[in-house]
Amino acid sequence: MSREKILPNPRLDFLTPLPNSGLLRAMFSYTAGLLGISVARLKKIRTAEKLPSNLDRRIDQLFNFFGRSYSLLDTGSIIRRVYGFSNDEIALEGFIKSQGKATALVNGLVRLYGLDIDSFGLKDEVSDEDPKLKRLLAYTSPRPNIILNKGTSPRSRFEELRELWLNDISLRNMVKTKEEEPLDKIGELKTIFNNELYEGRAGEGIQVTSLIKFNEEHGVDKIYRPSEGKIYKRTEKKTQEMRKIKVDGKDILVEVNFDKKTGVSKLIKLIGDFYEKKRNEINFAEYLDPEGKPLLQDRQRFSMAIKGNNKAIEKIIMRVNMFFENVVEKPINTGHGQNPTVKKRFIGEYKGVPFEMVYYDQVGFINSKNHIGKKSQQKIPVKIGDKEFEALFDIFDGSAHDLYEIRRSLPIIFLIFPYEIYRQPNQSPEDYVKMIQEAVRSRISDVVLNLRRSVH
């Protein structure tokens, strides 16, 4: 297996509904490339009556390209050899899981932007996970074949190719992470923190109530500790369950959250890198992503909100980081529409398993849930046919994660839902873009309204 994979053009320009032979060849070459098959070798067998003995029969089965069928090798075997899994069973499991992640990504974006499910949701033929590669590949062919004797619609064809593209990225990540998935260390760390870090018995938190005064952008203006008999105007009540950590004889209150950065989240980020920054290369030899972080499908992560001054925060960070090895401080992310409120960010390992450690002060943590910010606009490049232009999207630039989720996915919205496939009858490119802009504007308005109504 080649450890360094050059991915196809992330814009997928050739994926149009035009039923011409050039498109067919492009689609065939594209899928062959995902499977690591040389297109040059394909050309040599165009007129061959039999496949050469040294060439996998799977090549001719990609779309039943020659109108006849050969016995396709077992899907697990193909995926194992192409992507480097340790055995066929693990490879097939990874292939099926990658389909689930691709489906979750597309359906998640439909929900995120409030798009019409009938117009943008996956076709039934594509949404189901399928262990048979030849059946999936049959849907990428516009021609009748022995699996689908009436051919396939342009939209189904595109959606299957899009899934194969997402599968390819996911599988190449998964090769490394498959070995690490059973080594879930979150539960173990929680036990150690209860025994060696926190004061009090396991699970014995302290309910801390604060009154928060928000500014016009719904960011924290001031935090009050309520006093009996005192009236606080225009404040909102927030109760947190916090744990005590003793540092230099003083109790510091913290709120801790463990979670995983899911494979879907990682896919969105990687696609954004390819699309925005025109990076179409992943260094699989080092298993590093474009930021130099370990290339993981699911990243174990914990965040800690610390109630204290800067000196107390530094001491807590030093204390907690002692539980990890190979700790390296990393820059605070500002790309993909982020407006960070993080104090410090680190990458480290616990018993060989990578973790991301994120630390907030109390204000930053609340802002990461609630800050709406100012009205702004985000420019998104659009390419439709020979036309290239920028579309302006009305957004809010605040730190609230719900708003960030919308902003970070915007650059790939026309890649995942291209005009050529999802336009309405007689809909112009301009009207299609306006339809997407309106859906995003409406969705952001709903998010902002919900943020103003509640404190998380």
Boundary (domain end) residue, out of 160, 177, 194: 177
Is 48 among the domain residues? yes
Amino acid 181: pLDDT: 52
Does one domain contain both 173 and 244?
no
Left (φ > 0), alpha (ψ -120 to 50) or beta: where does 410 sit? alpha
* DSSP reduced 3-state for 253: strand
Residue-level length of the chain: 456
- What is the pairing mode between strands 299-307 and 353-361? parallel
Does one domain contain both 362 and 380?
no
Query: How many beta carbons lie within 10 A of that of residue 405, not counting itself?
Result: 16
Boundary (domain end) residue, out of 331, 352, 370: 370
Q: The tokens 């919308």 sit on which residue?
A: 406
d(CA 53, CA 36): 18
| Mean pLDDT lowest among 47-56, 93-102, 337-346 | 47-56
Does one domain contain both 253 and 317?
yes
What domain count does the chain have? 3
Contact 381, 390 (CB under 8 A): yes
- What is the token pair recorded at 103? 């489906």
Supply the pTM of this predicted model: 0.76
Contact 403, 357 (CB under 8 A): no
Quote the domain boundaries for residue 57: 4-177
**pLDDT, average across residues 248-270:** 81
Amino acid 447: pLDDT: 93
Tens-place pLDDT, residues 200-230: 888 888 898 888 999 989 988 888 887 766 7
Tens-place pLDDT, residues 132-180: 777 777 777 666 666 777 777 778 877 887 887 788 777 777 776 555 4
Tens-place pLDDT, residues 99-116: 998 899 999 999 988 898
Does one domain contain both 346 and 382?
no
User: Average model confidence (pLDDT) for the chain?
Assistant: 75
* DSSP reduced 3-state for 431: helix
Does one domain contain both 73 and 59?
yes
Is 278 among the domain residues? no
Does one domain contain both 244 and 389?
no
Does one domain contain both 365 and 394?
no
pLDDT score of 20 more than 60: no
| Mean pLDDT lowest among 70-74, 110-114, 215-219, 235-239 | 70-74
Does one domain contain both 345 and 386?
no
Boundary (domain end) residue, out of 354, 370, 386: 370
Is 274 among the domain residues? no
Does one domain contain both 167 and 308?
no
Does one domain contain both 117 and 51?
yes
Does one domain contain both 392 and 325?
no
Is 283 among the domain residues? no
d(CA 151, CA 182): 42
d(CA 355, CA 347): 6
456 band by pLDDT with thresholds 50, 70 and 90: very low
Tens-place pLDDT, residues 282-293: 444 444 555 555
Tens-place pLDDT, residues 29-49: 555 555 444 545 444 444 443
pLDDT score of 436 more than 90: yes
Q: The tokens 């050899």 sit on which residue?
A: 81
